[in-house]
Amino acid sequence: MARPVTLFTGQWADLTLEDVAKKASEWGFDGLELACWGDHFEVDKALEDDGYVQTRWDILNKYGLKCWAISNHLVGQCVADDPIDERHEAILPPRLWGDGDPEGVRQRCAQEMINTALAAKKFGVSIVNGFTGSPVWKNLYFFPPTSQDLVQRGFDDFAARWKPILDVFEENGIKFGLEVHPTEIAYDIITAHRALEALDYHPAFGFNFDPSHFIHQFVDPVKFIDEFGDRIWHVHVKDSKVETLDGRRSILSSHLDFGDPRRGWNFVSPGRGDVNWDELIRALNRVGYDGPLSIEWEDTVMDRMHGAPEALETIRAADFPASDVIFDAAFAADKGE
């Protein structure tokens, strides 16, 4: 049986959950991956109001949709980020931003991620996806000279902040899936290994695999699946296209907004970029991943009402179940009487 296809609601938070659910159902999605912003899934309400969780399920059930995961990328980003500045204020509710003192923001967001695990358990899902933030992303380019001791202190700080959160996840049977991504503690294969090592391979920590973030780094997403197959808790379907690198445009994006044609790369609707979906599906089959394929739709030059159903059609056509037989076994001689 092919995997269920869901729609991640993060890019649809300007619409009510009811509106998104109605559209997703009409398009033929199997479920939603609920973002913990907008009105889609509010962690504080889930813990304070015993009836709130049921209101989420009432909407999903009304439209015949399921849910396997919730996601709290925005809060998770603020747990270990350095610096904390006006960018973070723009993505946090006032109750978490508070007075803006950086360490206070980090501590409040850490508690909110703990609360997210408790809310997920109450909601009845076992996966929370998100970001971690990074104390060392600011040191990406090693000038002024950056020592490995300085980098290691950043990984140690990340681990010290996230281990207590992950302990609560584990205690409640919830897994945290980091979306490996530039600006996170892990943004490629090497740093993903290093993050796992820093956490002593915490059993609650794994990955929300999203191939689009590897393409413009010239990292093969299939190799990520092959190396971390037992830690892939969830999968995002998103695509990226590296434009012609003609000696003028940079893969570093030149501080240009997404969609700007002068950029070296952009996110595009699945099937319209450089991700090889056939290779990815085969790799997911090899590692035994049978969870949702969750479309995180981003394409700044395409209308999302066109793009989301197109992406659903694309991934349904690309997905296929793993074989449970050895094809040439049928050629063996029948030894029976």
Does 190 map to a domain? yes
Does 333 map to a domain? no
Does 78 map to a domain? yes
pLDDT tens for the chain, 337 residues long, are 689 999 999 999 999 999 999 999 999 999 999 999 999 999 999 999 989 999 999 999 999 999 999 999 999 999 999 999 999 999 999 999 999 999 999 999 999 999 999 999 999 999 999 999 999 999 999 999 999 999 999 999 999 999 999 999 999 999 999 999 999 999 999 999 999 999 999 999 999 999 999 999 999 999 999 999 999 999 999 999 998 778 888 889 999 999 998 999 999 999 999 999 999 999 999 999 999 999 999 999 999 999 999 999 999 999 999 988 765 655 555 555 5
| Burial class of residue 116 (count of CB atoms within 10 Å of its CB; 0-12, 13-18, 19+) | buried
Q: Label residue 336 left, alpha or beta by phi (over 0 means left) and psi (-120 to 50 means alpha).
A: beta
The residues, ordered by sequence, that sit 6+ positions from 100 with a Cβ below 8 Å of its Cβ are: 84, 89
Overall number of domains in the chain: 1
* Cβ atoms of 129 and 73 closer than 8 Å: yes
Does 87 map to a domain? yes
pTM equals: 0.95
Q: Which domain holds residue 86?
A: 5-323
Question: Residue 195: which of 108, 142, 112, 135 has the closest Cα?
Answer: 135
Does 336 map to a domain? no
* Cβ atoms of 34 and 67 closer than 8 Å: yes
Strands 205-209 and 175-178: parallel
Question: Residue 181: which of 143, 224, 150 has the closest Cα?
Answer: 224
Does 162 map to a domain? yes
Does 335 map to a domain? no
Does 337 map to a domain? no
Q: In this structure, what CATH number is given to the domain that contains residue 175? A: 3.20.20.150
